[in-house]
Amino acid sequence: MLKKITLLFFIVVTLSCFCSCERYGTEIEDMMIIQGIAVDKDKEGYEVTIEMLNNKQSASADSSNVGEEMTLCYSGNGETVAEALRLIINKTGNVPTYTHNKVIILSEDVAKSDITKVLDIFERDYTTQPITLVCIAKDVKAGDVLKANIGKDISKSEVLEKILNQSAISSITPETRLIDVINTVLDETACIALPTVTLQKNGETKTFFVENIAVFNYNNEISYYLGRESSENFVKLLGELKNGTLVTEDEKGAKATFIIVDGKTRYKAEVNNGIVNYNVKIKMYCDLNAYEGDRFQSIENETVDIFKKNIESDTERRLQNTYKAIQENNSFDILHFGRRLLQNDKNSYNQMKNDWQNNFKKSNINVNVEVVIRRIGEESYHE
Protein backbone atom coordinates (compact mmCIF):
# COMPACT_ATOMS: atom_id res chain seq x y z
CA MET A 1 0.00 0.00 0.00
CA LEU A 2 2.82 2.39 0.89
CA LYS A 3 4.50 1.73 -2.46
CA LYS A 4 1.27 2.58 -4.32
CA ILE A 5 0.85 5.86 -2.42
CA THR A 6 4.49 6.79 -3.11
CA LEU A 7 4.09 5.97 -6.82
CA LEU A 8 0.89 8.02 -7.03
CA PHE A 9 2.66 10.99 -5.38
CA PHE A 10 5.48 10.96 -7.94
CA ILE A 11 2.99 10.67 -10.84
CA VAL A 12 1.06 13.75 -9.60
CA VAL A 13 4.24 15.78 -9.13
CA THR A 14 5.57 14.80 -12.55
CA LEU A 15 2.31 15.64 -14.32
CA SER A 16 2.08 19.01 -12.57
CA CYS A 17 5.61 19.87 -13.69
CA PHE A 18 4.90 18.98 -17.32
CA CYS A 19 1.56 20.78 -17.34
CA SER A 20 3.00 24.00 -15.96
CA CYS A 21 5.02 24.43 -19.16
CA GLU A 22 1.82 24.66 -21.14
CA ARG A 23 0.65 27.78 -19.32
CA TYR A 24 0.65 30.91 -21.41
CA GLY A 25 3.67 33.07 -20.72
CA THR A 26 5.99 30.39 -19.38
CA GLU A 27 7.41 29.28 -22.73
CA ILE A 28 10.34 31.40 -23.90
CA GLU A 29 8.58 32.27 -27.16
CA ASP A 30 5.68 33.76 -25.17
CA MET A 31 7.89 36.08 -23.10
CA MET A 32 8.96 39.64 -23.83
CA ILE A 33 12.42 39.44 -22.27
CA ILE A 34 13.20 43.15 -22.10
CA GLN A 35 16.85 44.20 -22.36
CA GLY A 36 16.48 47.98 -22.35
CA ILE A 37 13.79 50.67 -22.16
CA ALA A 38 13.96 54.18 -23.61
CA VAL A 39 11.46 56.94 -22.82
CA ASP A 40 10.84 60.01 -25.01
CA LYS A 41 8.23 62.77 -24.91
CA ASP A 42 5.60 63.24 -27.63
CA LYS A 43 2.57 65.54 -28.10
CA GLU A 44 0.17 63.26 -26.27
CA GLY A 45 2.45 61.92 -23.57
CA TYR A 46 5.28 59.44 -23.96
CA GLU A 47 6.90 57.33 -26.64
CA VAL A 48 8.45 54.21 -25.15
CA THR A 49 10.94 52.02 -27.02
CA ILE A 50 11.97 48.60 -25.78
CA GLU A 51 14.73 46.27 -26.87
CA MET A 52 13.81 42.63 -26.34
CA LEU A 53 15.50 39.33 -27.08
CA ASN A 54 14.61 37.68 -30.38
CA ASN A 55 12.98 34.72 -28.64
CA LYS A 56 12.67 32.62 -31.77
CA GLN A 57 16.40 32.90 -32.40
CA SER A 58 17.16 32.14 -28.75
CA ALA A 59 14.85 29.12 -28.68
CA SER A 60 15.72 27.70 -32.09
CA ALA A 61 18.43 25.11 -32.62
CA ASP A 62 18.92 26.56 -36.09
CA SER A 63 18.86 30.35 -35.63
CA SER A 64 19.54 30.87 -39.36
CA ASN A 65 15.87 30.20 -40.01
CA VAL A 66 14.60 33.02 -37.79
CA GLY A 67 16.73 36.01 -38.83
CA GLU A 68 20.12 37.42 -37.86
CA GLU A 69 19.09 39.93 -35.21
CA MET A 70 19.76 38.95 -31.62
CA THR A 71 17.28 41.56 -30.36
CA LEU A 72 14.19 43.35 -31.66
CA CYS A 73 12.95 46.89 -30.99
CA TYR A 74 9.33 48.00 -30.60
CA SER A 75 7.81 51.40 -29.82
CA GLY A 76 4.49 52.49 -28.39
CA ASN A 77 2.82 55.77 -27.46
CA GLY A 78 0.59 56.57 -24.51
CA GLU A 79 -0.44 59.20 -22.00
CA THR A 80 1.72 57.38 -19.45
CA VAL A 81 4.73 55.11 -19.68
CA ALA A 82 2.63 52.23 -18.37
CA GLU A 83 0.03 52.70 -21.13
CA ALA A 84 2.72 52.87 -23.83
CA LEU A 85 4.23 49.63 -22.54
CA ARG A 86 0.83 47.93 -22.64
CA LEU A 87 0.40 48.95 -26.28
CA ILE A 88 3.78 47.39 -27.09
CA ILE A 89 2.49 44.18 -25.54
CA ASN A 90 -0.45 44.28 -27.96
CA LYS A 91 1.99 44.60 -30.86
CA THR A 92 4.12 41.64 -29.87
CA GLY A 93 1.60 39.40 -28.17
CA ASN A 94 4.25 38.58 -25.56
CA VAL A 95 4.13 38.80 -21.78
CA PRO A 96 6.72 41.34 -20.52
CA THR A 97 9.30 40.67 -17.85
CA TYR A 98 11.72 43.33 -16.55
CA THR A 99 13.93 40.82 -14.75
CA HIS A 100 16.65 41.04 -17.42
CA ASN A 101 16.27 44.75 -18.12
CA LYS A 102 19.71 46.34 -18.06
CA VAL A 103 19.14 50.08 -18.70
CA ILE A 104 16.47 52.76 -18.54
CA ILE A 105 17.29 55.65 -20.90
CA LEU A 106 15.48 58.96 -20.47
CA SER A 107 15.52 61.74 -23.05
CA GLU A 108 16.36 65.34 -22.14
CA ASP A 109 12.72 66.32 -22.74
CA VAL A 110 11.55 63.68 -20.28
CA ALA A 111 14.17 64.83 -17.77
CA LYS A 112 12.80 68.39 -17.88
CA SER A 113 9.85 67.14 -15.82
CA ASP A 114 9.83 65.19 -12.57
CA ILE A 115 11.45 61.90 -13.59
CA THR A 116 9.93 60.06 -10.62
CA LYS A 117 6.64 60.00 -12.57
CA VAL A 118 8.39 58.04 -15.30
CA LEU A 119 10.38 55.75 -13.02
CA ASP A 120 7.44 54.93 -10.76
CA ILE A 121 6.27 51.95 -12.84
CA PHE A 122 9.70 50.33 -12.65
CA GLU A 123 9.89 50.81 -8.89
CA ARG A 124 6.47 49.20 -8.41
CA ASP A 125 6.79 46.27 -10.82
CA TYR A 126 7.99 43.29 -8.80
CA THR A 127 10.07 41.89 -11.69
CA THR A 128 12.24 45.03 -11.96
CA GLN A 129 15.79 44.62 -10.71
CA PRO A 130 17.00 47.42 -8.39
CA ILE A 131 20.43 47.27 -10.08
CA THR A 132 18.98 48.40 -13.44
CA LEU A 133 21.06 51.38 -14.63
CA VAL A 134 19.50 54.78 -15.39
CA CYS A 135 21.01 57.37 -17.77
CA ILE A 136 20.13 60.41 -19.89
CA ALA A 137 20.28 60.52 -23.70
CA LYS A 138 21.97 63.82 -24.58
CA ASP A 139 21.47 65.52 -27.98
CA VAL A 140 19.61 62.46 -29.28
CA LYS A 141 16.28 60.72 -28.76
CA ALA A 142 16.37 58.01 -26.13
CA GLY A 143 14.68 55.61 -28.54
CA ASP A 144 17.39 56.24 -31.15
CA VAL A 145 19.97 54.95 -28.68
CA LEU A 146 18.25 51.56 -28.55
CA LYS A 147 17.71 51.55 -32.32
CA ALA A 148 21.28 52.61 -33.18
CA ASN A 149 23.23 50.44 -35.59
CA ILE A 150 26.24 49.42 -33.50
CA GLY A 151 26.72 46.04 -35.17
CA LYS A 152 24.84 42.84 -35.90
CA ASP A 153 23.96 40.04 -33.52
CA ILE A 154 24.47 42.23 -30.45
CA SER A 155 22.36 43.54 -27.58
CA LYS A 156 22.67 47.32 -27.54
CA SER A 157 21.40 47.45 -23.97
CA GLU A 158 24.07 45.00 -22.86
CA VAL A 159 26.80 47.05 -24.56
CA LEU A 160 25.54 50.27 -22.96
CA GLU A 161 25.34 48.58 -19.56
CA LYS A 162 28.99 47.52 -19.85
CA ILE A 163 30.05 51.05 -20.89
CA LEU A 164 28.19 52.64 -17.97
CA ASN A 165 29.66 50.13 -15.53
CA GLN A 166 33.16 50.71 -16.88
CA SER A 167 32.65 54.48 -16.63
CA ALA A 168 31.83 54.02 -12.94
CA ILE A 169 34.80 51.69 -12.39
CA SER A 170 37.05 54.27 -14.07
CA SER A 171 35.62 56.98 -11.77
CA ILE A 172 34.37 59.07 -14.70
CA THR A 173 30.69 58.96 -13.74
CA PRO A 174 28.96 57.67 -10.58
CA GLU A 175 27.16 54.36 -10.33
CA THR A 176 23.49 55.13 -10.93
CA ARG A 177 21.31 52.11 -10.39
CA LEU A 178 17.56 52.46 -10.06
CA ILE A 179 17.85 51.86 -6.31
CA ASP A 180 20.40 54.71 -6.05
CA VAL A 181 18.01 57.11 -7.79
CA ILE A 182 15.13 56.09 -5.51
CA ASN A 183 17.24 56.51 -2.37
CA THR A 184 18.37 59.96 -3.53
CA VAL A 185 14.77 61.06 -4.11
CA LEU A 186 13.84 59.85 -0.62
CA ASP A 187 16.78 61.79 0.87
CA GLU A 188 15.39 65.18 1.93
CA THR A 189 18.58 67.10 1.09
CA ALA A 190 20.04 65.29 -1.93
CA CYS A 191 19.64 65.77 -5.69
CA ILE A 192 19.97 63.27 -8.53
CA ALA A 193 23.00 63.14 -10.83
CA LEU A 194 22.87 60.79 -13.85
CA PRO A 195 25.45 59.90 -16.53
CA THR A 196 24.71 61.01 -20.10
CA VAL A 197 25.06 58.92 -23.24
CA THR A 198 25.47 60.21 -26.80
CA LEU A 199 25.87 58.55 -30.20
CA GLN A 200 29.02 58.96 -32.28
CA LYS A 201 29.60 57.85 -35.87
CA ASN A 202 32.04 55.02 -36.38
CA GLY A 203 32.11 54.38 -40.13
CA GLU A 204 28.83 52.74 -41.14
CA THR A 205 27.92 52.05 -37.53
CA LYS A 206 27.65 54.11 -34.36
CA THR A 207 29.11 53.86 -30.88
CA PHE A 208 27.93 54.92 -27.44
CA PHE A 209 29.89 57.59 -25.60
CA VAL A 210 29.53 58.40 -21.90
CA GLU A 211 31.42 61.43 -20.67
CA ASN A 212 29.61 63.70 -18.24
CA ILE A 213 26.82 64.07 -15.68
CA ALA A 214 23.34 65.59 -15.78
CA VAL A 215 22.49 67.48 -12.58
CA PHE A 216 18.88 67.57 -11.34
CA ASN A 217 17.17 70.06 -9.03
CA TYR A 218 15.04 69.40 -5.95
CA ASN A 219 11.99 68.85 -8.16
CA ASN A 220 13.86 65.99 -9.85
CA GLU A 221 14.10 67.97 -13.11
CA ILE A 222 17.29 68.32 -15.15
CA SER A 223 19.09 71.62 -14.50
CA TYR A 224 22.58 71.58 -16.08
CA TYR A 225 25.53 69.38 -17.04
CA LEU A 226 28.93 68.93 -15.46
CA GLY A 227 31.84 68.73 -17.89
CA ARG A 228 34.20 65.75 -18.12
CA GLU A 229 36.79 67.05 -15.66
CA SER A 230 34.17 68.26 -13.18
CA SER A 231 32.40 64.89 -13.44
CA GLU A 232 35.58 63.07 -12.42
CA ASN A 233 36.15 65.51 -9.55
CA PHE A 234 32.53 65.02 -8.50
CA VAL A 235 33.02 61.25 -8.29
CA LYS A 236 36.07 61.77 -6.07
CA LEU A 237 34.12 64.09 -3.73
CA LEU A 238 31.18 61.69 -3.72
CA GLY A 239 33.42 59.01 -2.28
CA GLU A 240 33.17 56.60 -5.23
CA LEU A 241 36.81 56.83 -6.36
CA LYS A 242 37.90 53.41 -7.63
CA ASN A 243 40.25 53.98 -10.55
CA GLY A 244 41.30 56.63 -13.06
CA THR A 245 44.29 58.51 -14.45
CA LEU A 246 46.29 61.52 -13.30
CA VAL A 247 48.69 63.62 -15.37
CA THR A 248 51.42 65.73 -13.78
CA GLU A 249 54.90 67.13 -14.59
CA ASP A 250 58.40 66.96 -13.20
CA GLU A 251 60.66 69.97 -12.51
CA LYS A 252 61.54 70.21 -16.23
CA GLY A 253 57.96 70.04 -17.49
CA ALA A 254 58.10 66.41 -18.67
CA LYS A 255 54.66 64.82 -18.32
CA ALA A 256 53.99 61.72 -16.26
CA THR A 257 50.78 59.68 -16.29
CA PHE A 258 49.68 57.78 -13.20
CA ILE A 259 47.00 55.12 -12.83
CA ILE A 260 44.84 55.30 -9.70
CA VAL A 261 44.57 51.73 -8.45
CA ASP A 262 42.55 52.48 -5.32
CA GLY A 263 41.06 55.40 -3.43
CA LYS A 264 39.58 56.01 0.00
CA THR A 265 37.59 59.05 1.14
CA ARG A 266 36.76 60.14 4.69
CA TYR A 267 34.47 62.98 5.78
CA LYS A 268 33.97 65.02 8.91
CA ALA A 269 31.25 67.66 9.16
CA GLU A 270 31.32 70.42 11.78
CA VAL A 271 28.98 73.37 12.34
CA ASN A 272 30.42 76.69 13.51
CA ASN A 273 28.19 79.77 13.87
CA GLY A 274 25.53 78.20 11.66
CA ILE A 275 27.98 77.37 8.86
CA VAL A 276 28.74 73.77 7.89
CA ASN A 277 32.42 72.99 7.39
CA TYR A 278 33.44 69.77 5.67
CA ASN A 279 36.86 68.23 6.07
CA VAL A 280 37.43 65.75 3.26
CA LYS A 281 40.48 63.50 3.23
CA ILE A 282 41.20 61.50 0.07
CA LYS A 283 43.94 58.91 -0.11
CA MET A 284 44.96 57.68 -3.57
CA TYR A 285 47.25 54.78 -4.39
CA CYS A 286 48.90 55.29 -7.78
CA ASP A 287 51.25 53.53 -10.19
CA LEU A 288 53.34 55.34 -12.80
CA ASN A 289 52.06 54.38 -16.23
CA ALA A 290 54.15 56.55 -18.58
CA TYR A 291 56.86 59.20 -18.24
CA GLU A 292 58.31 61.43 -20.96
CA GLY A 293 61.51 62.41 -19.18
CA ASP A 294 63.50 59.36 -18.09
CA ARG A 295 64.55 57.72 -21.39
CA PHE A 296 64.08 54.36 -19.70
CA GLN A 297 66.49 55.28 -16.89
CA SER A 298 65.87 55.05 -13.16
CA ILE A 299 63.74 57.83 -11.68
CA GLU A 300 65.30 59.73 -8.79
CA ASN A 301 63.50 59.86 -5.44
CA GLU A 302 63.45 63.66 -5.67
CA THR A 303 61.47 63.43 -8.92
CA VAL A 304 59.01 60.96 -7.36
CA ASP A 305 58.48 63.45 -4.49
CA ILE A 306 57.77 66.19 -7.04
CA PHE A 307 55.17 63.97 -8.72
CA LYS A 308 53.54 63.29 -5.35
CA LYS A 309 53.40 66.95 -4.26
CA ASN A 310 52.15 68.15 -7.66
CA ILE A 311 49.35 65.57 -7.78
CA GLU A 312 48.26 66.36 -4.22
CA SER A 313 48.14 70.15 -4.65
CA ASP A 314 46.59 70.01 -8.13
CA THR A 315 43.89 67.55 -7.06
CA GLU A 316 43.03 69.61 -3.98
CA ARG A 317 42.65 72.73 -6.14
CA ARG A 318 40.48 70.97 -8.73
CA LEU A 319 38.19 69.46 -6.10
CA GLN A 320 37.73 72.78 -4.33
CA ASN A 321 36.89 74.46 -7.65
CA THR A 322 34.34 71.75 -8.52
CA TYR A 323 32.69 72.07 -5.13
CA LYS A 324 32.45 75.84 -5.60
CA ALA A 325 30.98 75.39 -9.09
CA ILE A 326 28.28 73.03 -7.76
CA GLN A 327 27.43 75.56 -5.05
CA GLU A 328 27.18 78.43 -7.54
CA ASN A 329 24.94 76.45 -9.92
CA ASN A 330 21.83 76.81 -7.72
CA SER A 331 23.49 74.73 -4.99
CA PHE A 332 21.89 71.35 -5.71
CA ASP A 333 23.41 68.83 -3.31
CA ILE A 334 24.35 66.03 -5.71
CA LEU A 335 27.21 65.16 -3.35
CA HIS A 336 24.84 63.95 -0.58
CA PHE A 337 26.66 66.21 1.86
CA GLY A 338 23.44 66.73 3.80
CA ARG A 339 23.58 63.07 4.73
CA ARG A 340 27.22 63.53 5.77
CA LEU A 341 26.05 66.17 8.22
CA LEU A 342 23.30 63.87 9.49
CA GLN A 343 25.88 61.18 10.22
CA ASN A 344 28.12 63.62 12.13
CA ASP A 345 25.68 66.02 13.78
CA LYS A 346 22.03 64.97 13.81
CA ASN A 347 20.79 67.99 15.78
CA SER A 348 22.36 70.50 13.36
CA TYR A 349 21.01 68.52 10.42
CA ASN A 350 17.45 68.68 11.78
CA GLN A 351 17.78 72.44 12.20
CA MET A 352 19.18 72.99 8.69
CA LYS A 353 17.48 70.43 6.46
CA ASN A 354 14.38 72.52 5.69
CA ASP A 355 16.54 75.23 4.12
CA TRP A 356 19.32 72.95 2.95
CA GLN A 357 19.78 74.53 -0.48
CA ASN A 358 20.88 77.80 1.14
CA ASN A 359 22.79 76.12 3.96
CA PHE A 360 24.69 73.97 1.45
CA LYS A 361 25.53 77.07 -0.59
CA LYS A 362 27.06 78.74 2.47
CA SER A 363 29.06 75.66 3.50
CA ASN A 364 32.84 75.43 3.31
CA ILE A 365 35.10 72.58 2.30
CA ASN A 366 38.67 71.74 3.17
CA VAL A 367 40.19 69.03 0.96
CA ASN A 368 43.31 67.12 1.95
CA VAL A 369 44.75 64.71 -0.63
CA GLU A 370 47.40 62.12 0.19
CA VAL A 371 49.09 60.25 -2.65
CA VAL A 372 50.92 56.96 -2.24
CA ILE A 373 53.04 56.12 -5.29
CA ARG A 374 53.40 52.35 -5.16
CA ARG A 375 55.34 51.60 -8.32
CA ILE A 376 57.29 53.71 -10.81
CA GLY A 377 57.67 51.05 -13.52
CA GLU A 378 61.24 50.05 -12.74
CA GLU A 379 60.49 46.56 -11.45
CA SER A 380 60.76 44.93 -14.89
CA TYR A 381 64.01 46.55 -16.14
CA HIS A 382 65.93 47.71 -13.09
CA GLU A 383 65.60 44.89 -10.60
Residue 69 has pLDDT above 80, yes or no: no
| pLDDT per residue as tens digits for the range 215-259 | 999 999 999 999 999 999 999 999 999 999 999 999 889 999 999
Question: Given this model, what pLDDT does residue 13 score?
Answer: 47
150/288: higher pLDDT: 288
Residue 166 has pLDDT above 70, yes or no: yes
Q: Please check whether residue 119 is in contact with residue 89, taking contact to mean a CB–CB distance below 8 angstroms.
A: no
Question: Given this model, what pLDDT does residue 64 score?
Answer: 44
Round the average pLDDT of the chain to a whole number and report it. Answer: 87
The lowest-confidence range among 59-68, 204-213, 255-264 is 59-68
HEC string for the chain: CHHHHHHHHHHHHHHHHHHHCCCCCCCHHHEEEEEEEEEEECCCCEEEEEEEECHHHHHCCCHHHCCCCCEEEEEEEECCHHHHHHHHHHHHCCEEECCCCCEEEEEHHHHCCCCHHHHHHHHHCCCCCCCCEEEEECCCCHHHHHHCCCCCCCCHHHHHHHHHHHHHHCCCCCCCEHHHHHHHHHCCCCCCEEEEEEEEEECCEEEEEEEEEEEECCCCCEEEEECHHHHHHHHHHHCCCCCEEEEEECCCCCEEEEEEEEEEEEEEEEEECCEEEEEEEEEEEEEEEEECCCCCCCCCHHHHHHHHHHHHHHHHHHHHHHHHHHHHCCCCCCCCHHHHHHHHCHHHHHHHHHHHHHHHHHCEEEEEEEEEEEECCCCCCCC
Residues in the chain: 383
CA 219 to CA 185: how far, in whole Å?
9
Question: Given this model, what pLDDT does residue 317 score?
Answer: 97
Percent of the chain with pLDDT over 70: 87
Question: Given this model, what pLDDT does residue 125 score?
Answer: 79
The verdict on domain 229-383 having CATH code 3.30.300.210 is yes
Domain positions in the chain: 29-226, 229-383
Question: Given this model, what pLDDT does residue 29 score?
Answer: 64
User: What's the start-to-end Cα distance of the chain, in Å?
Assistant: 80
Side-chain half-sphere of 206: how many Cα atoms within 13 Å?
15
pLDDT-based confidence at residue 208 (cuts at 50, 70, 90): very high
pLDDT-based confidence at residue 152 (cuts at 50, 70, 90): confident
Residue 62 has pLDDT above 70, yes or no: no
| pLDDT per residue as tens digits for the range 8-17 | 555 544 544 5
pLDDT-based confidence at residue 111 (cuts at 50, 70, 90): very high
pLDDT-based confidence at residue 20 (cuts at 50, 70, 90): very low
Q: Please check whether residue 178 is in contact with residue 125, taking contact to mean a CB–CB distance below 8 angstroms.
A: no
Question: Given this model, what pLDDT does residue 25 score?
Answer: 43
Q: Once rounded to an integer, what is the mean pLDDT over residues 143-151? A: 90
Residue 380 has pLDDT above 60, yes or no: no
47/71: higher pLDDT: 47
Q: Please check whether residue 286 is in contact with residue 307, taking contact to mean a CB–CB distance below 8 angstroms.
A: no
The lowest-confidence range among 38-47, 198-207, 222-231, 322-331 is 198-207
